[in-house]
Amino acid sequence: MLGENGAGKTTLMNVLAGVYLPDEGTVSLDGVEHQFNKPADAIAAGVGMVHQEFRLIPTFSVAENVVLGSAPTLVAKRAIEDEVAALAERFGLATEPGRQIWQLSMGERQRVEILKALWRDAKVLILDEPTAVLTPNEAAELGRITSAMADDGRSIIFISHKLDEVKEFCDEATVLRGGKTVAGSLSVADLDAGAMAELMVGQATDVSQRRSRTSEIGNQVCSVTDMMVHDLHQRAVVNGVSLTVAEGEIVGIAGVAGNGQRPLADAIAGLVKLTSGTVTLAGTDLSTSQPSARNAAGLAYVPEDRIGVGLAPKMNVTENAMMRAYRKLSSGSLIDRDKARANGERLVSEFNVKVGQMDSPIAALSGGNLQRLLVGRELDNEPKVLIAAQPTRGLDVQGVAAIQRILLAQAADGLGILLISEDLEELFALSDRLLVMHEGKVVAEVDPDTATRSEVGRAMAGA
């Protein structure tokens, strides 16, 4: 099951697994129509799903997690551990049934999830982006496990947006885009990566939507050199990225979610530490500076998570509007309430944010208004560079247009923008240069005036 983020893969599979009810349509297994009102119905019919976020109890043992919900009333711990071990052995799943989940690596936890499904005798096993959390060795191990299961006569649905994996793991592929099947039951052996990429990302964009450049691109203002960032599991999530942004330039970053865009943005803004490499802004090395120092030096950041990172959910409009400026709005150690209120009202009117009351919590604002407040606040201090991560995601058409207008106007005024987006159309329309990230690396740089979508799509998929 192949498709971009948001193509509907997980949703569709959640219907098959009984998590969601379909409004229309039917689910059949072996020619028999089923209605799954709850996951237990699907499990009883032989459908198991390994979700991206594992459903395991950290302080229970492997065996306890495997049998949970289907265990006999009286549990003989030893006997169950032996049974689980026997099952694991049958499919070549290396596991220690007595260990507790929190002690295990992500790969081991995933094997527990697979064991859970096998314990319930799943005939159809759905794996939702199973390799996202795995190391390359663990991914290869998973390949062995799935082929052992297929040899045992079970069906496996493998959700992915990585072409190489699909080629490696699967016999057939179905491609989803925008909630629709664009190609069903393709024989993987006959397909090349380019064709699959094109099916995933769709037709070339309308050229007329390209922005007309109104200003010259100036001097380089921000540079990232050989950046490495590791996550908690010591995986290199940003793996040697170098890039530059110049005054008035919009540099786009394309990529499937989870290929290092978020840690890249966070590391430039100072929210996560660099393992190595440098971040330079207007000639000043900020690689080890605090987020506030980077902001003071002219780096603005519209993070992917508007509420919870960029904005504080329980606080009101005025308080959120002064998150960057509250020190300046203070006299001594006390915040000047009049100035704070004026600051908020000014931003709200300048960026056309529709708010009920200035002192109502921002949770009451719509997505578009939240984003205008956040973008407005970040632009208020005349920054030199803006990192805009998924700035239009989830907004309605007018909301998208408003944010894009603001970005273009700011770039025309000389602001350098690093635009991280999953929306190729947006990237093609706004970017002066377009970089593609895959597995923590910049794998391609293209000119959006001449590049095609399938070219970018292929690079996104690592082909």
Phi, psi of 335 (to 5 degrees): -80, 130
87 versus 297: smaller Cβ distance to another protein: 297
Q: Which one of 70, 290, 349, 352 is in contact with another protein (CB under 8 A)?
A: 290
Please tell me the distance from the alpha carbon of residue 256 to that of residue 9, in angstroms, as a whole number. 14
How near is the Cβ of 307 to another protein at its closest, in Å? 8
Q: How many residues does the chain have?
A: 463
Q: Using the rule CB under 8 A, give the single segment among 29-37, 152-160, 182-190, 311-319 that binds another protein.
A: 311-319
| 58 is an interface residue for another protein by CB under 8 A | no
Note whether 277 and 263 are within 8 A (CB). Answer: no
For 225-234, give one letter per residue: b (16+ CB within 10 A) or e.
Answer: bebbbbeeee
Question: 90: how many CB neighbours lie within 10 A of its CB?
Answer: 11
Site string for another protein, 92-131 (x = CB under 8 A): ----------------------------------------
Site for another protein in 316-335 (CB under 8 A): 319, 322-324, 326-327, 330, 333-335
When asked if residue 231 is in the footprint of another protein (CB under 8 A), the reply is: no
Q: Which of 77, 78, 337, 354 binds another protein (CB under 8 A)?
A: 337
Residue 67: name the closest of 83, 50, 89 by CA: 83
Under the binding rule (CB under 8 A), the answer on residue 344 touching another protein is: no
Query: What is the distance between the alpha carbons of residues 236 and 284, in angstroms, rounded to a whole number?
Result: 26
Torsion-angle region of residue 220: left (phi > 0), alpha (psi -120 to 50) or beta? beta
269 close to 420: Cβ distance less than 8 angstroms: no
Got the DSSP string for 270-295?
TSS--SEEEEEETTEE-TT--HHHHH
Among 282, 297, 312, 451, binds another protein (CB under 8 A): 312
Distance of CA 39 to the CA centre of its chain: 25
Minimum CB distance to another protein, residue 112 (Å): 25
Q: How far is the CB of 297 from another protein (least distance, A)?
A: 12
Residue 265 sits at φ, ψ, to 5 deg, of -65, -45
In whole angstroms, what is the distance from residue 419 CA to residue 355 CA? 27
- Tell me if 288 contacts another protein by CB under 8 A: no
> Which of residues 29 and 271 has its CB atom nearest to another protein in the complex?
271
Q: Figure out which of the listed residues 305, 396, 413, 449 binds another protein, where binding follows CB under 8 A.
A: 305
Return the residue of 293, 342, 401, 412 that touches another protein, per CB under 8 A.
293
Name residues contacting another protein, limited to 380-419 (CB under 8 A). Answer: none
Distance CA 252, CA 428 (A): 8
Which residue lies nearer to another protein by CB, 209 or 360? Answer: 360
Q: What distance in Å separates the CA atoms of residue 50 and residue 257, rounded to the nearest whole number? A: 19
Tokens 């699909």 belong to: 166
> In terms of CB distance, is 300 or 430 closer to another protein?
300
Q: How many residues interact with another protein (rule CB under 8 A)?
A: 34
For another protein, the binding residues in 4-33 under the rule CB under 8 A are none
Q: For residue 304, what are the CA distances in angstroms to 203, 388, 449?
A: 27, 8, 26
Task: Please give the helix or strand (H or E) that residue 180 lies within, else none.
Answer: strand 180-187
| Shortest separation between residue 301's beta carbon and another protein, angstroms | 7
Residue 60 touching another protein (CB under 8 A): no
313 binds another protein (CB under 8 A): yes
Report the residue from 21, 76, 140, 364 that binds another protein according to the rule CB under 8 A. Answer: 364
Question: Minimum CB separation from another protein for residue 202, in Å?
Answer: 34
Least distance (Å) from another protein to the CB of residue 291? 4
For another protein, the closer CB: 158 or 301: 301
The amino acid that residue 364 corresponds to is A
* Least distance between another protein and beta carbon 281 (Å): 15
Structure tokens at 308: 């919870």
Among 259, 295, 369, 410, binds another protein (CB under 8 A): 295
Is 363 near another protein (CB under 8 A)?
yes
Q: How far apart are the first and last CA of the chain?
A: 17
Question: Torsion-angle region of residue 263: left (phi > 0), alpha (psi -120 to 50) or beta?
Answer: alpha
368 binds another protein (CB under 8 A): no
Query: Where on the chain is the footprint of another protein (CB under 8 A)?
Result: 269-271, 290-293, 295, 301, 303, 305, 308-315, 319, 322-324, 326-327, 330, 333-335, 337, 360-361, 363-364
